[in-house]
Structure 1
Amino acid sequence: MSPQMELVAITLDCPDPMALAEFYRQATGYEPHPKSDGEFAGLNREDGLFMGFQRVEDYRPPSWPGQTVPQQLHICFRVAESLDAAEARLRELGAGKPEHQPLGDRARVLTDPAGHPFCIVIR
């Protein structure tokens, strides 16, 4: 029998933990972790999932879809609204949109302000 595991945390490297936490707070509505500071920031989801952001000196953003600097992690989020509406809101918050969009109308690939790629998909 294989071990049972539950995902409880995801942590992203970045140059500015507080700024990236604020981007994801506005995008997701997750609550700020009370012990966030300039070196590490976090968000809590109601079900206990923790999303962390840690400062890395000389941070280099992923070069998706190229692999000069590999992405190493790709997060997907379901959105309740249309992809167009969700994309517009996220871009207002500072998300980027790579030219390469491999999933057609099923999903959108965006990048957070630190360059990490993530997808949005319809519920």
Structure 2
Amino acid sequence: MPSRMRMTVITFDCADPPALAEFYRQVTGLEPHPRSSAEFAGLVGEDGGLAIGCQRVDGYEAPRWPGQSVPQQIHLDFEVDDLDEAEAMLLELGAAKPDHQPGGDRWRVFTDPAGHPFCVLTR
């Protein structure tokens, strides 16, 4: 039986990798990868854990959540202590909050500056 694989990077398509990486740097506290560029910007943790990558795609078109004309394809979930506090920070950093919020008081949906949806829920 083969050994288990370890996920190392989640990579997002986008039009502006450095800008999207900066958004996620501020959200997560991960550090910029030293070899980031205009074509691929990465973030890494101190412990060598899961990293985030942002890669330039010509003609990038943002997902249309909750519709599926351009599907979301992937989304992240983040746990926080206070939803209102997290929302204020995310909106200040450039996230958007769609009108459609299926989580009620349990979680909220946001989109990053490139349009990728992600959820924020309480611990």
Same fold (TM > 0.5)? yes
1:70 aligns with 71
Matched, 1:31 2:40: no
In 1, distance between residues paired with 2:117 and 2:56?
18
In 2, distance between residues paired with 1:72 and 1:3?
27
Q: Give RMSD over aligned pairs.
A: 1.3
**Shift, 1:96, TM fit:** 0.3
In 2, distance between residues paired with 1:2 and 1:33?
30
Give the structure-2-normalised TM-score.
0.94
Amino acid at match of 1:36: S
Give the structure-1-normalised TM-score.
0.94
Amino acid at match of 1:26: Q
In 2, distance between residues paired with 1:6 and 1:102?
32
Amino acid at match of 1:22: E
1:21 aligns with 21
Aligned pairs for 1:1-123 within 5 A: 4-47=4-47, 48-80=49-81, 82-123=82-123
Once the two structures are superposed, residues 6-48 of structure 1 have per-residue CA deviations (whole angstroms, 9 ceiling, x without a partner) of 2211000000000000000011110110000100000012342
Percentage identity across paired residues of the two chains: 65
Once the two structures are superposed, residues 53-95 of structure 1 have per-residue CA deviations (whole angstroms, 9 ceiling, x without a partner) of 0000100000000000000001101113x10110110000000
In 2, distance between residues paired with 1:90 and 1:63?
19
In 1, distance between residues paired with 2:102 and 2:3?
34
Amino acid at match of 1:61: A
Amino acid at match of 2:74: L
